[in-house]
């Protein structure tokens, strides 16, 4: 009887959740960070939220697999290049409102398929004891990562599972050309300890001295390493560094479309945007609080990322995998 009672309660719970119109969100942000935004949104709007965490590349793959019956309604966080690819494959639903129109045009899709919510740049993270032991300065060029001293000492994210990894690859393509980027990566691969599934994976590995160096978004380095006192150095390539415009979008076929629209409006509002500085992110909305001690879009030499690279995502990744054999 107890088992039947518990089962009945569980089913009733599922039924109540379904009736309440719970908003289903897939996020490419760190789970703890995403939880803070979603908790505040839920408190202010009284809309229940449930979330799963997937890297941006995994989100695109999942949206393709669930194209005819999506289980999620909002995609929250991750580089705009992946959103551009998803929109091109008709996996996203356009949405524009008075709130999203406050975001500068260059940080949102003209047709409303995605809206930018933060800026982030890639940077090098190195383990200071490793630098001291090897008599090195922090890397200041992409070529520095190819030095023999870094053999078996580098971690980066896979381009096909991680938005961070794809942003890195796309930036190198923009900087060096596709052939040049692949030749560079073949050399980089010889110095790799291993590849991570998540873009923030190399941060903690470097902070703990498991590898000597990694490439990651500066907000992840700040949040998971420098702000916690780990002995790491942060530097940027003199040739230019790739960057992301982190996005948010409604998934095509979303079952909670009205709640999804409210979430996007809230995320681009001053209330939502003012939460981002605590996580080392530069918010997109003019006038929102910005993080201290972290380079912003006007402080760094950036690679002029072509949005069309997002449209070539599948072709670029296919050739990368054929060349690098990973």
CA distance 108 to 90: 17
Give the per-residue pLDDT at 19: 36
Cα–Cα–Cα angle for 248, 78, 294, nearest 5°?
Answer: 110
Instruction: Give the pairing type, strands 282-283 and 192-196.
Output: unpaired
CA distance 61 to 98: 31
For 21-119+244-296, which CATH superfamily applies?
Periplasmic binding protein-like II (3.40.190.10)
Can you tell me whether residue 111 is helix, strand or coil? coil
Structural contact between residues 143 and 239, judged by C-beta atoms closer than 8 angstroms: no
End-to-end, the C-alpha distance of the chain in Å comes to 53
Residue 39 DSSP symbol: H
CA distance 200 to 214: 10
CA distance 160 to 92: 19
φ/ψ region of 195 (left if φ > 0, alpha if ψ in -120 to 50, else beta) reads: beta
Q: List beta partners, residue 53.
A: 27
Q: Domain spanning 120-242+309-324: which CATH class is it, in words? A: alpha beta
pLDDT in tens, the chain (326 residues): 433 333 333 333 333 333 347 999 999 998 999 999 999 999 999 999 999 999 999 999 999 999 999 999 999 999 999 999 999 999 999 999 999 999 999 899 999 999 999 999 999 999 999 999 999 999 999 999 999 999 999 999 999 999 999 999 999 999 999 999 999 999 999 999 999 999 999 999 999 999 999 999 998 999 899 989 999 999 999 999 999 899 999 999 999 999 999 999 999 999 999 999 988 889 999 999 988 767 677 788 999 889 889 999 999 999 999 999 99
Domain with CATH 3.40.190.10 in the chain: 21-119+244-296, 120-242+309-324
Helix (H) or strand (E) holding 60: helix 56-65
Q: How many residues does the chain have?
A: 326
Give the per-residue pLDDT at 295: 65
Residues whose CB falls within 8 Å of the CB of residue 5, separated by 6 or more in sequence, listed in order: none
What predicted TM-score, i.e. pTM, was given to this entire model?
0.80
């Amino acid at each position: 009887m107890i088992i039947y009672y518990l089962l009945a309660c569980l089913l009733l719970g599922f039924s109540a959740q379904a009736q309440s119109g719970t908003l289903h969100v897939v996020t490419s942000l760190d789970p703890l960070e995403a939880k803070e935004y979603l908790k505040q949104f839920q408190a202010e709007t009284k809309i229940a939220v449930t979330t799963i965490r997937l890297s941006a590349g995994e989100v695109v793959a999942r949206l393709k697999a669930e194209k005819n019956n999506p289980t999620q309604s909002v995609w929250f966080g991750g580089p705009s290049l992946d959103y551009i690819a998803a929109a091109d494959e008709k996996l996203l639903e356009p949405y524009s409102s008075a709130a999203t129109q406050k975001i500068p045009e260059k940080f949102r899709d003209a047709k409303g398929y995605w809206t930018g919510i933060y800026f982030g740049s890639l940077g090098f993270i190195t383990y200071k004891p490793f630098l001291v032991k090897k008599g090195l300065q922090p890397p200041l060029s992409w070529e520095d990562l190819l030095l023999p001293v870094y053999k078996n000492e580098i971690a980066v994210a896979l381009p096909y599972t991680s938005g961070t990894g794809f942003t890195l690859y796309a930036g190198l393509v923009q900087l060096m050309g596709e052939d040049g980027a692949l030749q560079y990566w073949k050399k980089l691969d010889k110095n790799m300890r291993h590849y991570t599934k998540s873009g923030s994976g190399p941060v903690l590995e470097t902070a703990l001295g498991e590898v000597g160096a990694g490439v990651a978004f500066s907000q992840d380095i700040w949040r998971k390493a420098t702000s916690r006192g780990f002995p790491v150095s942060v530097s940027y390539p003199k040739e230019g560094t790739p960057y992301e415009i982190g996005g948010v979008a409604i998934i095509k076929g979303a079952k909670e479309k009205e709640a999804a629209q409210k979430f996007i409006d809230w995320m681009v509002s001053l209330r939502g945007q003012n939460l981002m500085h605590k996580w080392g992110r530069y918010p997109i909305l003019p006038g929102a609080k910005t993080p201290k001690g972290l380079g912003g879009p006007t402080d760094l030499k950036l690679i002029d990322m072509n949005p069309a690279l997002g449209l070539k995502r599948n072709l670029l990744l296919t050739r990368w995998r054929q060349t690098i054999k990973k």
